[in-house]
Chains A and B, each alone.
Chain A
Amino acid sequence: MNNLFQSELKVINIGLKSFKETLDKQNVKSVHVDWRPPLFTDDKVMSIIKSNTDKIEAANKQAIQKILNSKPFIVGMGKALDVVPGMKKNLLLHAGPPVTWENMCGPMRGAVIGALIYEGIVDAPEKAEQIAASGKIEFSPCHEHSAVGPMAGIVSPSMPVFILQNDEYGNKAFCTMNEGLGKVLRYGAFSSDVIERLKWMEKILYPSLKKAIEKIGKIDLKNIIAQALQMGDEVHNRNRAATSLLYRTLAPSIIQTTDDKEIAASVLEFINRNDHFFLNLSMGASKLSLDAARNIEHSSIVVVMARNGTEFGIQLSGTGDKWFTGPSPIPDALFFTGYTKDDANPDIGDSSITETNGLGGFAIAASPAIVQFVGGSTKDAINYTLKMYEITAAENNIYKIPYLNFRGTPTGIDVIKVVEKNILPFIDTGVAHKNAGVGQIGAGVLSAPAEPFIKAIVGLANQIK
């Protein structure tokens, strides 16, 4: 104990802030902890967790290794019906945890209507609603088919998808091509111009890209994401750099493999004009890495965070395919002129898979350019990222943040840390209008809701005991 008397007193102050101020006045080195009570304090559950700490930590180490070692590549393209596992003609995939037509929010219903028109199953929105409610159309989460989709996240059988492969573990993931901003299917728009664009993407964009990718062989997504983080993207709400890097990779091959110059130009221009073209791929790369860490017994690492616009759901490595859900919150957003929070749909989309993988909101310190857009100062952005280190199991080995001296992004959300520290994952995201077909009305930030994390820790404890 005497070493205390012999050394300089340095204090961690947890609780009353005035004690820290007193120490400051005396020039004593100290740091204040903005402590809050745990989310959940059920003794039974927490004692199971505590008594298994060693096993959980070992399992988490394994899960983290898999996430960090994953090597996501684009290896090709195909039609969803042909390549996505379990895909069939009367199946539509959607974002988030499972949801029935009755419980679907406006934008997701709009996207379902659009997809049914696009597939030629119906020719009018009213008929689409009827058939969607009839039970003839099945719905299933993208996540249960190795896929991810932004916002409504609808994947229908004829849609072209990128095929991604994890070179380290061999697993695959699938994602659609991003449609751009404005009135688009993923925000629930289904007017004729939306359908026409989807058709153009299927008939013109897809074949051209497919050939170009075949020529290239495979495209290293991890490399593009790592570079993009150093160019001001966090690859969720800002994908400008990543899209540009992908464009540079694709352009020569597109020109070489597309016979018609006009078509080649239109394809390149489509990618060039859509800063979010890379979003679906950053999501797919994240999905691929996190899927590799699934089903590790005892692991408390979150492998999915996803929202269907009604509910927010998560899955843990150690609890198999179980979803833990709670109501999805409405983001705290900056709205485009003419819109308010009253118009906003609850948070929606699989894009929070990026945060789950240590990107997006978790890497926002790398992306000062969008901080103002999501409401805040540069320092806020840095603080958001710093806070996420509190609830993650590792620092990324490849994804680095220049401002933080190239510290790796906080990676691998540990549900136990979330619950014990009462710090919820931070997500930066787009906001959809609550009515079908209106589209994006703002962008903002939110903390994940507590309920899924509380249910998940209970689920993990039940699994362990």
Chain B
Amino acid sequence: MNIIGIIKKGEYYDSISIMLIAKHISEMEGVDDSAVVMGTKENKSILTSSGLMTPDVQPAGEMDLIVALKLKEGVDSKNVLYKIDEIFKATKKSDDGENFTPQSIDGALNVLPDANMAMISVAGRYAGDVAMKSLQRGLHVMLFSDNVPIEKEIELKKFARENNLFVMGPDCGTAIINGVPLAFANVVNKGNIGVVAASGTGLQEVTCLISNAGCGISQAIGTGGRDVRKEVGGIMFIEGIKALTADPNTDVILLVSKPPATEVVEKIISVARGIRKPVVGVFLGASPEFLKGSNIRQALTLEEAAMKAVALSKHDSIESVDENLKSRTSEIEQIAKVEKAKLSLGQKYLRALYSGGTFCDEAQLLCQNVLGEVYSNIPFGSSKKLKDSSKSEKHTILDLGDDEFTVGKPHPMIDYSTRNKRIISEAEDPETAVILLDIVLGYGSNMDPLVEIIPVLKEVKKITVQQKRYVPVVCSVTGTDKDPQNRTAVVTALGAGGVKVMESNAAASMLAISIINR
């Protein structure tokens, strides 16, 4: 194997440029594997563990860019490096003749003096300072960046609370403010349901389900996952609830999170107690008694939470939701029965390959209740940790958006290549009974997911037919018909490709589980 690495000294590229460059490089002929990363210690150790380290790039500092390549046998490295240079040149192309781009918040405020929101996605170690500067200028902050130290997060949120400002994040991937989807978000109906979420994919799922059910969203506020931990104390989660309580356009409040720290739960319950608007909460992984005695109506899945919020916003009875879900379960069992009959002996295990972290959690919870032992790279509930994330064991539920899969590569909602490879290897495994997937649409995600996924599904069919097996593929599609990708178009094409497409991740997970559960 031919591994080469080059250092681009002192070259700063923003992460989107790096992502674009990485994507172009990974698509180059002759390149087997690649990574484009800044030369931080962590990144270097990741390169080492992924077998892409060479002595050439060892001296790179954290302001240097590393391009590491694994070339296919017999490929001329000179040729590849020349092409890479061209890719870099193309991204560096100056804004010749373009309008002035300010280089600081103050500069931007000169151009847009009445701006009210700063969307920050610079590297984590700088993001905190940039966020503080924004707050000091009176801007609300959506902090997309991760790796912001928790002390900094607390400092930011305390300052924001004192000044009546929001800090959404760090690591907040999505929000919908005044009807505008921010970062990774979907185009949903406007309506009277307000959401506060400490989970990005969770927020996307509930807002899409609500919109697809004909209702709409007033505001969807992301807080970042750490907000509900003891250290941060739910500062923005609580502020979000208060803001929705005061908002005349919000009639129903929906809370989405993993179970918060006990202190934070108590605060949430006590704030909710004073609210006259109905409140629904889904705290994935919490027991059904978690909110007993509070006036928050608990849901156990994202879907149930969305449906309950919908019912409340239409003044329907909550019980109708339970009934609907029950009848849906029997529908799922019908489909499962048919699929189950097509499986061969020895096809025993679920292989779930997720791009959305919250979906991975939700699937693990649902699976644990029925199938028992589950493995994951990000174990949740009673799941066990995979010894090696690159090899599935028994029932495996993977989060491919986790750092170990994304270093030097775009997120799997954008770049399907890592997951596509994994789908093939799961299809080749005679023990695989069901492949479970998520596809997340909306701004920020891949604009043409069918181009990425359809060829792989054909390949799966080819492999399994050759091996005289059938592997059902089950999938949920998070999105709306107003999203640039159009959900109906995607669902129709997947259906035509033989995929069992369900309306939610919970439903898709339940179908996958029922097929396996003999």
Chain B residues within an 8 Å CB radius of A18: 16, 444
Q: A15-B121, A22-B444, A28-B180 are in contact. Are A389 and B164 (CB under 8 A)?
A: no
- Complex-state Cα separation, A22 to B116, whole angstroms: 17
Interface residues of A in 93-141 (CB under 8 A from B): none
- Complex-state Cα separation, A379 to B109, whole angstroms: 21
**Is residue A38 contacting chain B, with contact meaning CB distance below 8 A?**
yes
B112 touches A29 (CB 8 A): yes
- Complex-state Cα separation, A14 to B115, whole angstroms: 13
- Complex-state Cα separation, A343 to B250, whole angstroms: 70
B16 touches A17 (CB 8 A): yes
Interface residues of B in 239-264 (CB under 8 A from A): 239, 242-243, 246-247, 249
Interface residues of B in 100-117 (CB under 8 A from A): 100-112, 114-117
**Is residue B12 contacting chain A, with contact meaning CB distance below 8 A?**
yes
Contact with A along B108-149 (1 / 0, CB 8 A): 111110111111111100100010001000011000110000
- Complex-state Cα separation, A8 to B180, whole angstroms: 10
Contact with A along B148-166 (1 / 0, CB 8 A): 0000000000000000111
Interface residues of A in 8-28 (CB under 8 A from B): 8-19, 22-23, 25-26, 28
B239 touches A1 (CB 8 A): yes
**Is residue A256 contacting chain B, with contact meaning CB distance below 8 A?**
no
B100 touches A12 (CB 8 A): no
**Is residue B289 contacting chain A, with contact meaning CB distance below 8 A?**
no
Output the nearest chain A residue to B10 by Cβ-Cβ distance: A450
**Is residue A377 contacting chain B, with contact meaning CB distance below 8 A?**
yes
Chain B residues within an 8 Å CB radius of A14: 105, 108, 118-122, 130, 134
A1 touches B166 (CB 8 A): yes
**Is residue B74 contacting chain A, with contact meaning CB distance below 8 A?**
no
- Complex-state Cα separation, A376 to B97, whole angstroms: 9
Chain A residues within an 8 Å CB radius of B463: none
- Complex-state Cα separation, A34 to B110, whole angstroms: 14
Chain B residues within an 8 Å CB radius of A8: 178
Output the nearest chain A residue to B242 by Cβ-Cβ distance: A1
Chain B residues within an 8 Å CB radius of A17: 14, 16
Output the nearest chain A residue to B94 by Cβ-Cβ distance: A380
B144 touches A16 (CB 8 A): yes
Chain B residues within an 8 Å CB radius of A35: 14, 103-104, 122, 130
- Complex-state Cα separation, A1 to B443, whole angstroms: 26
Q: A9-B177, A19-B121 are in contact. Are A389 and B105 (CB under 8 A)?
A: no
Chain A residues within an 8 Å CB radius of B450: none
B100 touches A387 (CB 8 A): yes
- Complex-state Cα separation, A377 to B63, whole angstroms: 31
**Is residue A30 contacting chain B, with contact meaning CB distance below 8 A?**
yes
Q: A1-B165, A15-B121 are in contact. Are A389 and B178 (CB under 8 A)?
A: no
Interface centre among B218, B219, B443 (most CB of A within 10 A): B443
- Complex-state Cα separation, A18 to B181, whole angstroms: 13
Q: A4-B140, A386-B100, A421-B104 are in contact. Are A12 and B164 (CB under 8 A)?
A: no
**Is residue B417 contacting chain A, with contact meaning CB distance below 8 A?**
no
Q: A2-B247, A29-B112 are in contact. Are A12 and B117 (CB under 8 A)?
A: yes
Interface residues of B in 73-103 (CB under 8 A from A): 95-103
B15 touches A31 (CB 8 A): no
A383 touches B246 (CB 8 A): no
**Is residue A382 contacting chain B, with contact meaning CB distance below 8 A?**
yes
Output the nearest chain B residue to A36 by Cβ-Cβ distance: B12
Output the nearest chain A residue to B118 by Cβ-Cβ distance: A12
A377 touches B165 (CB 8 A): no
B101 touches A33 (CB 8 A): yes
- Complex-state Cα separation, A423 to B95, whole angstroms: 16
Interface centre among A19, A23, A390 (most CB of B within 10 A): A19
Chain A residues within an 8 Å CB radius of B407: none
Chain B residues within an 8 Å CB radius of A33: 101-105, 107-108
Q: A1-B243, A16-B121 are in contact. Are A9 and B180 (CB under 8 A)?
A: yes
Interface residues of A in 159-201 (CB under 8 A from B): none
Contact with B along A40-80 (1 / 0, CB 8 A): 00000000000000000000000000000000000000000
Q: How far is the CB of A56 from chain B (nearest CB, A)?
A: 16
**Is residue B183 contacting chain A, with contact meaning CB distance below 8 A?**
yes
Chain B residues within an 8 Å CB radius of A7: 116, 178
Q: How far is the CB of B335 from chain A (nearest CB, A)?
A: 36
Chain B residues within an 8 Å CB radius of A36: 12, 103
**Is residue A37 contacting chain B, with contact meaning CB distance below 8 A?**
yes
Contact with A along B1-24 (1 / 0, CB 8 A): 000000000001011100000000
Contact of A12 among B109, B123, B126, B249 (CB under 8 A): B109
* Contact residues on B (Cβ < 8 Å of other chain), bracket: 35 or more
**Is residue B182 contacting chain A, with contact meaning CB distance below 8 A?**
yes
Q: How far is the CB of B483 from chain A (nearest CB, A)?
A: 12
- Complex-state Cα separation, A201 to B236, whole angstroms: 74
- Complex-state Cα separation, A30 to B246, whole angstroms: 27
Chain A residues within an 8 Å CB radius of B102: 31, 33-34, 386, 390
A11 touches B101 (CB 8 A): no
- Complex-state Cα separation, A389 to B139, whole angstroms: 21
**Is residue A211 contacting chain B, with contact meaning CB distance below 8 A?**
no
B16 touches A37 (CB 8 A): no
A34 touches B103 (CB 8 A): yes
**Is residue A32 contacting chain B, with contact meaning CB distance below 8 A?**
yes
Chain B residues within an 8 Å CB radius of A422: 103
- Complex-state Cα separation, A31 to B108, whole angstroms: 6
A387 touches B103 (CB 8 A): yes
B12 touches A10 (CB 8 A): no
B103 touches A390 (CB 8 A): yes
Q: How far is the CB of A416 from chain B (nearest CB, A)?
A: 12
Q: A1-B164, A1-B166, A22-B444 are in contact. Are A11 and B119 (CB under 8 A)?
A: yes
Chain A residues within an 8 Å CB radius of B111: 31
- Complex-state Cα separation, A16 to B183, whole angstroms: 9
B103 touches A421 (CB 8 A): yes
- Complex-state Cα separation, A299 to B96, whole angstroms: 36
Output the nearest chain B residue to A32 by Cβ-Cβ distance: B101
B140 touches A10 (CB 8 A): no
- Complex-state Cα separation, A16 to B444, whole angstroms: 10
A15 touches B97 (CB 8 A): no
Chain A residues within an 8 Å CB radius of B165: 1
Output the nearest chain B residue to A46 by Cβ-Cβ distance: B129
Q: How far is the CB of A349 from chain B (nearest CB, A)?
A: 26
Contact with A along B43-74 (1 / 0, CB 8 A): 00000000000000000000100000000000
B219 touches A5 (CB 8 A): yes
Output the nearest chain B residue to A386 by Cβ-Cβ distance: B100
B116 touches A23 (CB 8 A): no
Contact of B14 among A15, A25, A29, A380 (CB under 8 A): A15
Chain A residues within an 8 Å CB radius of B99: 379
Q: How far is the CB of B26 from chain A (nearest CB, A)?
A: 18
Interface residues of A in 187-229 (CB under 8 A from B): none
B443 touches A22 (CB 8 A): yes
Chain A residues within an 8 Å CB radius of B139: 12
Q: How far is the CB of B246 from chain A (nearest CB, A)?
A: 5
Q: How far is the CB of A401 from chain B (nearest CB, A)?
A: 13
List 17 A-B residue pairs with CB atoms under 8 Å apart, sorted by A's residue number. Answer: A1-B239, A1-B242, A5-B177, A9-B116, A9-B117, A9-B178, A13-B119, A14-B108, A15-B16, A15-B145, A16-B16, A32-B101, A33-B103, A35-B14, A36-B12, A383-B95, A390-B103
Q: Which residues of A contact B (CB under 8 A)?
A: 1-2, 4-5, 7-19, 22-23, 25-26, 28-38, 376-377, 379-380, 382-383, 386-387, 389-390, 420-423
Q: Which residues of B contact A (CB under 8 A)?
A: 12, 14-16, 63, 95-112, 114-123, 126, 130, 134, 139-140, 144-145, 164-166, 177-178, 180-183, 218-219, 239, 242-243, 246-247, 249, 443-444, 484
Q: A10-B112, A38-B126 are in contact. List 17 more A-B contacts (CB 8 A).
A: A1-B246, A4-B140, A5-B178, A5-B243, A11-B115, A12-B105, A14-B118, A15-B16, A15-B122, A17-B16, A22-B183, A377-B96, A379-B98, A379-B99, A387-B100, A390-B106, A421-B103
Closest 9 CB pairs of A and B: A15-B121, A16-B16, A34-B101, A16-B121, A22-B443, A15-B122, A12-B108, A386-B100, A10-B115
